[in-house]
Chains A and B, each alone.
Chain A
């Protein structure tokens, strides 16, 4: 017995050595070396292009404002301070916009996830009356829309213009996420589990609450993260629907307004509400550029913070999405 095991071990070692030699052999050709250098360089450059702007933005918000104004902060932060971030608290409408965006992100995501989970579960039930028809009725809406103007008129008709609920209610039913959940339930949750529960007399709602919801956590996390990012980034609905309710503007919308005003502070003030920016900010001889950078940074930071958690999930999401519902 032991001789056989040692023979297998020897064989494995030989194989490993062969692999090593082969890979060393392959690396040795000069063409491969050039290829590798070029390949590594191109990817390194593209990666730098992708992250440098974030870094540049950040160092300009924490460096000495006078140096920033002169354009002297390019690669290394100097005179580090965090006053700009503290000053932002004095920009009243920004604070409100932050609250609105946070509220819609949390509520909108929560409702969307619960609805997607529930509907995704319901459409796996073959005995539902007219299931395939209603499922198609839902899914087909991904491929057409009436256009932005009829959509706007419809929202106005429903009384959802200048109302916070316009951010939440239309997003509750998300067909793509429903497909994801449905696919997941069908492929990852064994049907016997449900069967035995229903034999024990559990109702559909009980099964949903005690079996489906806990077991589909991975996919729900995926859609929750995508939903939250979507809510955080959304800008169009605020722009079109909240025309006469500046208090309900989202953070992105505020940022858009600030970016579009010329860089002097008086213009920045008149762009926001009258309470715009308090006098102390003006007195600090702060230029508009830094304010804009800081607001942008504040808007980006939450996304960068959830990003590490997202990464685990989004590949899974893409792969399940590639399987048709």
Chain B
């Protein structure tokens, strides 16, 4: 009885260490196998193990000149592979530890073997390091020893110890015991891969916020020497040209989102007036064809804009054919009324689509309300205003609040495709600015700061909008 209690406690470090080891595999910064400066900075231990081609991509010259032996890199590759597989075995063991004694025992066996293999393979990396350190050309090969090696080794040895401990504490299961696990854990394990994917692609990027506090250029490492605390945050306020940029960008962002919000009643009006059309074939026709633009990408919208509004597009050739203009005009290259044009393109693309939810809403309104209104002598417009509109208001409020919460996120596709040298100052919205600054110009820390502030403000706005909705309507929107 007591033995089982100890085992139950021992399983906690067992699971925690397995998860930690598994996470380490994905971080290039924690790659113990990066024993030479020639190995790409962004290779994780997993890549080192599973992709030999990636590992030796910079070693062509070193191999030819004999600075590094190919066998050394093979050794490094195979050791990393063994470590990876060992750690994955530990993780499998940790998963199985949720089951009955039979599952636990099998898991313990697997993880013990895995941990031992991994720990031994660390020796392979150790010896690969010494082979590389003995190179004739240290300036080119840059041998380096990762101090994290020791921490990793300690973790692996701990894993070996804990694995063996639980192996003996749990003991051999009865011969006729079957593999079994409680339903709740079985379901959880089926869910686990998707949790991991979500973590990796949605939560892990948050770890990238640390770049906001460093003086970082692509390819650098983060260390205390380039830690700058809040320098980039201060630059937003102190540096004149940055401040000017930001103010302009905010102006554009708020203007375009504001125009979007100001016209957010239009889908509702579209739906209400469309439902007044009694010819169902015509109604269907309108609904079908006004929805199409929603399904083409912004690049294609730009292609459409190009064929209608460019120098040799529809408008220009019409005007020339009619003899009104002598030569074509390119509307896309002008910087006037950019906000309005973007709004109109947005409406062209989205109006028919956004109306669908209201159309569905109208069909859900109780017909008796209309009959009662008719009896009371209400005309067409009175019925629209006093019956239909109030019926659609809840939907409208929710969408409006969502729009207010997303006021900083206009997306970047639309503005990126329509941007050119003559309209760039009017079209630069926040998302596009962050992209241009970070990806195109390589100012990673500053753009991270802007993106970070944007995310925080957006989440706050959403929270506020949700609270307002809860107070006013007693219903949350998210």
Contacts and interface: CB of A to CB of B under 8 A. Distances in A.
Contacts, number: 255
A303 interface: yes
A143 B477 CA distance: 12
Contact of B277 (A39, A70, A72, A232): A39
A183 interface: no
B187 interface: yes
A137 B198 contact: yes
Interface stretch (B72-80, B117-125, B189-197): B189-197
A318 B360 contact: yes
A36 B293 CA distance: 26
A255 B300 contact: yes
Interface core residue of A46, A150, A256, A307 (most chain B CB under 10 Å): A150
Contacts of B416: 239
A82 interface: no
Contact of B205 (A36, A54, A130, A150): A150
B194 A50 contact: no
A205 B307 CA distance: 52
A184 interface: no
Interface of B, helix, strand, loop or mixed by DSSP: helix
B292 A53 contact: no
Contact of B306 (A43, A147, A156, A259): A259
Interface residues of B, number: 94
B300 A300 contact: yes
B349 to A, nearest CB: 9
Interface in B191-227: 191, 194-195, 197-198, 200-209, 211
A200 interface: no
B312 interface: yes
Interface string B403-423: 000000000110011000000
Nearest to B192: A134
A232 B300 CA distance: 11
Interface in A38-86: 39-40, 42-44, 46-47, 49-51, 53-54, 56-57, 60, 69-72, 74
Nearest to B304: A53
Contacts of A156: 42
Interface in A126-140: 127-131, 134, 137-138
Nearest to B431: A148
B188 A51 contact: no
Interface stretch (B88-96, B105-113, B246-254, B434-442): B434-442
Interface in A170-196: 170, 172-173, 175
B323 to A, nearest CB: 13
Given A125-B187, A128-B188, A255-B303, 4 more contacts: A60-B307, A158-B26, A170-B201, A229-B295
